[in-house]
Structure 1
Amino acid sequence: MDATRVPKVFLVRTEIDAILADLDEGDPVPSERDLATRFGVARETVRQALRELLVAGRIRRLGRGTVVSRPKLTQPLSLGSYTEGAISLGRTPGRILVTWEDTAADAETAADLELTPGTEVMHLERVLLADGERIGLESTYLPLHRFATLRGGYDPTTSLYAAIRATGVELAGARERIETVLAAPREAGLLDCSTALPMLLLHRRSVDADGAPIERVRSLYRGDRVAFEARLSPEPA
């Protein structure tokens, strides 16, 4: 490719990425002004390159400055819980309870849980943490008639799947869809990020061994802090 046709932002991003490779996690990133002077470009060009590196998870905001970020948390796409996935990667999981209520199922929730619209369901909304950093927002709906006993002693800052298994219910399968979205202002506030930051949105419907619905989950993850990985194998001929 003719170098003169490569976007200037791409060239600057590549140069900054090389600088980051020589820095350690938590080290400060040179300022926009310093980088613009070093590369002989406008500060807006540097600003755009830094925005792309922020989304890529290479850097993060800290106070009024920018520092080198640790690698993204790569979650496996599996029936395992967020807690299990984070621990397997050497990260410390955590949750902050936002909402825990019994509410009437809307048409979409009722259809996923095979209930009549208006039937009461249990709704838990929690901020997901990794090493104390807010990385996701999880909203779970459970059939109340199956899991009302969770009210008796479940700690919502711990794994919900472990609590479900403790009731004698085993997850046997799930359907999951992933798409990219932007966070609503409330969601961005809970995740301590900008509404302009791309998010990964997961919709999951899980069932037990009899095919009966267990949960309907909407999980929103920060695109700069989380990636997903799936293991694939050939289908039988």
Structure 2
Amino acid sequence: MPDVGELEARVGTTELERVPEPKHRHLKTVLSEALDSEFSVGEILPNERELAARFGVARATLRQALEQLELEGRLQRRRGVGTTVAPPRVGVDVSPTQHSWPGENGEAWITADCSRIVPPPSAARLLDLPPGEPAEAVRRTRMTHGQSVATEILYVPAASLAAGWDEAGPEGAERGRAVLRELQHFERGGQDRAVELGSARSEDARQLDRLPGAPVLIVTTRYFADGRTVAASVATYRADTCRLTFGNQGGVSLLAG
């Protein structure tokens, strides 16, 4: 962890009293430049007391600068760790021409678990399933720089699986991978996608290392084949580490808060 002397050597001497703009904005600019040039992803910053003493500002001013950098996705405050340099934002492609299929080679999702359940009413409506109809629930996570940035439940109705599918077959992640392989047999008919801002539920917050109620990006996708919905997913992304992208048109940053 860099000490105050190391930080001073990195960013140089800054006389915040003489700058015309608000102190916290200038301090944010100085710290942002240091993050770009000198700090690595995951590196822990000195504590607030050391930073405030170094720049000769009140801790309230320092917190304003750090909070803005956190909102911009440059820093993360991790429980039990401190303030660390955030990894680059993850692009979430929401363009209508995006046709990736669950389980394709090279995708960023990691299968964690799978079980047969009766989907909640909201998922059943996505799948056009009658009440009580079962589906496989494949739970997946998306990682970057060793951190979980998204969690997903992919619902696959029993009718989407081959006639010889063994309901009492493998369990856990192996079962989930088997379900994903079944989806590869379909002649793909496209997909639709909806994006909305939401608040992290307790289970999602735990998996994403966030506090319950933290801002998240909820992406709901339906996959079509053979004239029907063969799967639907609800993915929850950390709003502080993700950005929306639209094919080749670039991205739109999503700021938490």
CA deviations over 1:191-210 (Å, ceiling 9, x no partner): 222235421111111111x3
Name the SS of the counterpart of 2:32 in structure 1.
helix
Flag structure 2 segments of 5+ consecutive residues without an equivalent.
Answer: 1-18, 250-257
CA deviations over 1:91-125 (Å, ceiling 9, x no partner): x753432xx33223444333321222222222223
Structure 2 CA distance for partners of 1:187 and 1:147, relative to 1, 3 Å: same
Whether 1:42 aligns to 2:61 is no
Whether 1:132 aligns to 2:146 is yes
Whether 1:111 aligns to 2:125 is yes
Structure 2 CA distance for partners of 1:189 and 1:18, relative to 1, 3 Å: same
- State the alpha-carbon separation in 1 of the partners of residues 138 and 247 from structure 2: 29
Amino acid at match of 1:48: Q
Which of 221, 228, 231 is the equivalent residue of 2:244? 228
Which of 100, 108, 130 is the equivalent residue of 1:80? 100
Note the C-alpha offset of 1:61.
4.3
CA deviations over 1:110-142 (Å, ceiling 9, x no partner): 332122222222222333333532111101211
Name the SS of the counterpart of 2:159 in structure 1.
helix
- State the alpha-carbon separation in 2 of the partners of residues 14 and 172 from structure 1: 48
Normalised to the residue count of structure 2, the TM-score between the two structures is 0.70
- State the alpha-carbon separation in 2 of the partners of residues 218 and 30 from structure 1: 38
- State the alpha-carbon separation in 1 of the partners of residues 101 and 144 from structure 2: 14
Which of 174, 183, 196 is the equivalent residue of 1:164? 183
Amino acid at match of 2:74: R
Name the SS of the counterpart of 1:24 in structure 2.
coil
CA-based RMSD of the aligned residues comes to 3.2
Note the C-alpha offset of 1:33.
1.9
CA deviations over 1:30-86 (Å, ceiling 9, x no partner): 33223323444321332233233234332234653333233122243322157769x
Whether 1:13 aligns to 2:25 is no
Note the C-alpha offset of 1:218.
0.8
Amino acid at match of 1:177: A
Amino acid at match of 1:64: V
Higher mean C-alpha deviation, range 149-158 or range 137-146: 149-158
- State the alpha-carbon separation in 2 of the partners of residues 16 and 174 from structure 1: 42
Name the SS of the counterpart of 1:33 in structure 2.
helix
* Aligned residue number for residue 64 of structure 1: 81
Normalised to the residue count of structure 1, the TM-score between the two structures is 0.76
Whether 1:215 aligns to 2:234 is no
* Greater Cα radius of gyration, structure 1 or 2: 2
1:187-202 equivalences in 2 (<5 Å): 187-195=204-212, 197-202=214-219
Q: Name the % identity.
A: 26
Structure 2 CA distance for partners of 1:150 and 1:217, relative to 1, 3 Å: farther
* Aligned residue number for residue 7 of structure 2: none
Higher mean C-alpha deviation, range 16-25 or range 105-114: 105-114
- State the alpha-carbon separation in 2 of the partners of residues 52 and 147 from structure 1: 48
Higher mean C-alpha deviation, range 131-140 or range 7-16: 7-16
Whether 1:147 aligns to 2:171 is no
Higher mean C-alpha deviation, range 33-42 or range 219-228: 33-42
- State the alpha-carbon separation in 1 of the partners of residues 23 and 126 from structure 2: 48
* Aligned residue number for residue 180 of structure 1: 197
Name the SS of the counterpart of 1:44 in structure 2.
helix
Amino acid at match of 2:231: E
Conservation of the 8 A alpha-carbon contact between 1:55 and 1:197: no
Aligned residues between the structures? 221
Conservation of the 8 A alpha-carbon contact between 1:72 and 1:227: yes
